[in-house]
Every structure is written in C-alpha cells, then in structure tokens.
Structure 1
C-alpha cells in the first residue's frame, strides 16, 4: 500500500512519534493505522491513543435530566459559528427535552413532536432558515435511582461540547453532590468503561498483546535480561493492572482526591455508580481538511 504524507502526518499527530518512525510504522504494517499505533507503542515510541482524540466536528451536546432518567443528544452543525447561534441552541434544548420524554432511539425522537411538527421536520426547517446543514446524530439514555448531568465548555444552560450523565444508587442528596464531581471527572478522563467487567474484551486482548511484545522486546535488549517467567508472571500482569486502573472509571484515581479511586470515593460517600455516558461533540466524525491553496489553483486552471 502506498504510504502518503497525510497518513504519516495523522500518525505523528496521534502518537507524537517522529516522522521517520511514523513512516516506518506505516510501512511495516501496510498502512494500517491502528496496527501502526500498536507497533510504535511496542517500540516505546508512542503512548496509547484514543481514536476520538483525532476527530472533530462542530455543534453541541444537549443534556436533560428528570426523575431518574437522563439523556444526551448530539446535534452537529457545519461551523462553530452556528453552534453559538441562539436559534440553534434553542433547537438543541428542544430536542433534548423531547428525547427525555420519548427517547430510546434517534429515530423515535425524530418522529416525536416539537413545536407542532416532528423533530425531523423542525430540524429541516432550521436548516432552511440558518442555511447550514445540521444533523441529529446520537442519543444516549441513562436511567438509575439518581441521574446527574454535567456539560463541559457550556455554550448555554444544559449544552456544551461534552455532555456527561452519571447514574448512582444510595442516598439521593449525597448522590447529587458527589455525582456532579464524578461527572466532571468523567469529562476530564474519558474512561473506556465503568469497570474491568464491562471493558470490551477485544480492547483488553489488544493491550495485552502490545504489553507482552513490548516487555519481551525490552527484556531481549536489556544488559541484564530477566527470566521469562518473571516477565509473564510479574511485569506483564503489573502493566495490565495499571492499564485497567487508568482506563476504567471505578479504578481511576479520583481527580478531586487522587489518594482515592473513584470506587473508594463513591463508597465513602455511601453511593454506588451504576452507569455513565460521555458524549463529546464530533467523536468519530472525520473532518475533511481543505487545502485552500490547491483549491484556488484548481479554480484558476479552470
């Protein structure tokens, strides 16, 4: 596969690796980006990278909570200018409100009524008025004894660039108080799952493969190599334990009090976290990079 400069650039931005290392990683892995990231990590040339960190899109996340139920909706726009528009913000708030009442899926919300029309019709009308394409892309629904919400980089009440919902059981007043702190923690750390039990086995297997290859390679190049038994029984399990602690919500050090894990902090407060949802605007949407100079040159040639 032909390795392009754009691919090398993307890998460098994702991993922080040098240009030649990034190019070699892509060559060694036939252009497969994920495999190239793992190759660089095995060589100790890159940190773990989350795909969501490499993508962006404009728009807002709207959240709404009532009676043990919370929703987060993602409404995308083409530009950040529109995301700051009062009409667009009112639309996001309206869709979040409808989703709280009927939401189990994007399609169900689109078919529900908002301002005398269906949500889909209302969205299409807004596109015609504002003059920019908009999409209702995602919906997260969370239920529990107590559900707390938080928005990061708030543009208006109940909407921002990151929306978080946290479900808790236990004393309602304490759950509300510490739940907001947990939601802020989740916005900052973006855990992969609630606990080890809920973590995708494919993610665990992939990490184990990386850490095993890395540990064996480091040991092979060491001036004083350790017995393989030590590598497999101590070093690799230790690294996996650290990975799980850093990437599962309950295992993470609580940002408000790093001496405690989130699970310990919840226990001390007399509550239990039963679920969460974190929605960041633009996750998974690759923005097309426009080469303005090339576009102008093409126009002139025409």
Structure 2
C-alpha cells in the first residue's frame, strides 16, 4: 500500500510521533496504520500519544548563551519529580542549546530542527516514552546582541524561574545582576513607555473610579484639580511597581534599576516561571483510591 501524506498525518495525530518516524513506521508495515502504531510502540515512540491529554505544568526553564545569541526555554513535565531527573535536565539544556544555535524563537519551527538525524519533536517524544511522562516544549525566547552589548542570565531554584536580559553596555556583571532582579521581581515592562495604551486606560479608569468614590464619602470633598493630581500620582506609583527601570534594585533598594545601570539600558528581557498560566489538574487522591477499590 502506498504511503501517502494523509496516512502519515493520521498516524502522527494518533501517536504524537514525529513525521519522519511515522513515515518509517508506515514504510516498514506497508501502510498499515495499526501495524505502524505497534511498530512505533515497540520503538518506545508511541507512548507519547497515550499521555497527550495529561497536563504538563511542572518542569524546568534553562538558558544557553552562544556568542552573540542567547536562548531561554521552558520545557514542561507532569510532576516535579521528573523535573529533578538528570535525563530530563539534559533534554532541557539540549533544547536551549539547539534554540540558540539555530536562533529559533518559534516553538513550531524549533520542533522541526535536526538533532543528530532526528527532528526535535521526535527527540522529545522518545524521551517522553523513556521517562514515562508527557514532556512538552512550551516557549522559547531568543536574543541577539552586538559586541558592545551584554547578555545576563539567571536561574532560580534549579530552573523553576529563569530570566534573560540584554543590556546596551558590555558589562557582564551588571547584566547578570539585572537578570537576577528580573527573576526575583517579575517586572511586566522595561519602562513606562512600553506600557500599552489599553492597559494605561484600564488602570486609569479603575483609579479614577476609586478616587471619586472615596471623595464622595469624604467629609470635605477635594476639588477636581486636586483629585486629578491624586489620581495621576497613584497611577505613576502603580506603573513604577511593574516597570523594571523604576523598581528598587534588589541588591540595593536605595537605588532604582535604571540608576544602577548608569549609562546602560535594558534593551530586552524575558522571564519564564515554570507552569505560569497553565491550569493544573487537582487530583482527588481519596476519590481515586475509592474508585480503584470499587467503593
């Protein structure tokens, strides 16, 4: 039976294996889907499909710096136990290095990259089969710099949180300090100028409503021009808390990050907290035991 693209796609969706592995399996079994599935299972590749509906919200983040290119990645697993597995750690570091080597910040494109004759998607699927948990590449950030600039990178708690920054001056120590600050303080923007207009408007509306309600209840309401200053003051304070440049520098709270950098500027930043934004499944252990016991 001829092996068509449709057959390869069908097997890939059924097993979660890479395109090339699916084609090999179909070639080896004369296009028989079920036999090809068994062929992949025998190779330890099709195990990934059985775990496809599980939630992978644990894992690790890691960075790799290759000359003037740096990459930050997050790879998820189902449990924090696997996140401590040396094989899993090696996989995460491999992915970070592959992303940096290929300057690839797109997950879909990264999964197609060649790693010793196999695409990265297949490498991850095979490791899923071996380790026994669903593993997935969630996100990548890639930065490129000039010789006059510097990268800073920092991982906290073995990779539960990692940050990568690029600064405008060639000062590796300051760059690392800024990355440490980003990892710890989780700024949303580099500067106030980076805050989108819709976020500004929403925050202003909330503060204005709060201030007007407070003023209406006051024994002696303030005039409109005073209220305007109060609202803008609160807005500025809130923005300082979420903007990197205005935050108190973690190693010296007496100065801001911007002041610590002096003539330098933060050009780019990325921060990955493992599992952030993923809805984790809460298992009811008692109910699971009862179900297995037929209670």
Which range, TM-score by smaller chain?
A: 0.7 to 0.9
- 2:94 aligns with 94
Inter-partner Cα distance in structure 1 for 2:167 and 2:72: 17
Which ranges of structure 1 fall in alignment gaps of 5 or more residues?
1-55, 155-159
Give the secondary-structure state (helix, strand or coil) at the position aligned to 1:275.
strand
Alpha carbons 1:115, 1:122 under 8 Å: kept: no
Give the secondary-structure state (helix, strand or coil) at the position aligned to 2:281.
coil
Counterparts of 1:184-263 in structure 2, within 5 Å, are: 184-232=180-228, 234-263=229-258
Q: How many residues align?
A: 236
Counterparts of 1:90-169 in structure 2, within 5 Å, are: 90-102=90-102, 103-144=104-145, 145-154=149-158, 160-169=159-168
Q: CA deviation at 1:143?
A: 2.2
Inter-partner Cα distance in structure 2 for 1:66 and 1:271: 22
Inter-partner Cα distance in structure 1 for 2:133 and 2:157: 23
- 1:288 aligns with 281
Counterparts of 1:176-191 in structure 2, within 5 Å, are: 176-191=172-187
Which ranges of structure 2 fall in alignment gaps of 5 or more residues?
1-55
Alpha carbons 2:152, 2:177 under 8 Å: kept: no
Deviations along 1:113-161, one digit per CA (max 9) or x if unpaired, are 224321111100001111110111101112222111111112xxxxx01
Between 1 and 2, higher relative CO (CA 8 Å, sep ≥ 6) is seen in: 1
Inter-partner Cα distance in structure 1 for 2:279 and 2:273: 14
What is the aligned-residue RMSD (CA, Å)?
Answer: 1.7
Inter-partner Cα distance in structure 2 for 1:62 and 1:113: 20
The answer to which of 253-262 and 181-190 deviates more is: 253-262
- 1:25 aligns with none
Q: Are residues 1:273 and 2:266 paired?
A: yes
* Larger Rg belongs to: 2
TM-score by length of 2: 0.76
Give the secondary-structure state (helix, strand or coil) at the position aligned to 1:62.
strand
Alpha carbons 2:74, 2:140 under 8 Å: kept: yes
Q: CA deviation at 1:296?
A: 4.3
Taking a change above 3 Å as real, the CA distance of residues 219 and 82 of structure 1, as seen in their structure-2 partners, is same
Q: CA deviation at 1:202?
A: 2.2
Deviations along 1:73-102, one digit per CA (max 9) or x if unpaired, are 110000001000011111111111100011
Inter-partner Cα distance in structure 2 for 1:204 and 1:293: 47
Inter-partner Cα distance in structure 1 for 2:107 and 2:290: 42
TM-score by length of 1: 0.74
Inter-partner Cα distance in structure 1 for 2:294 and 2:85: 37
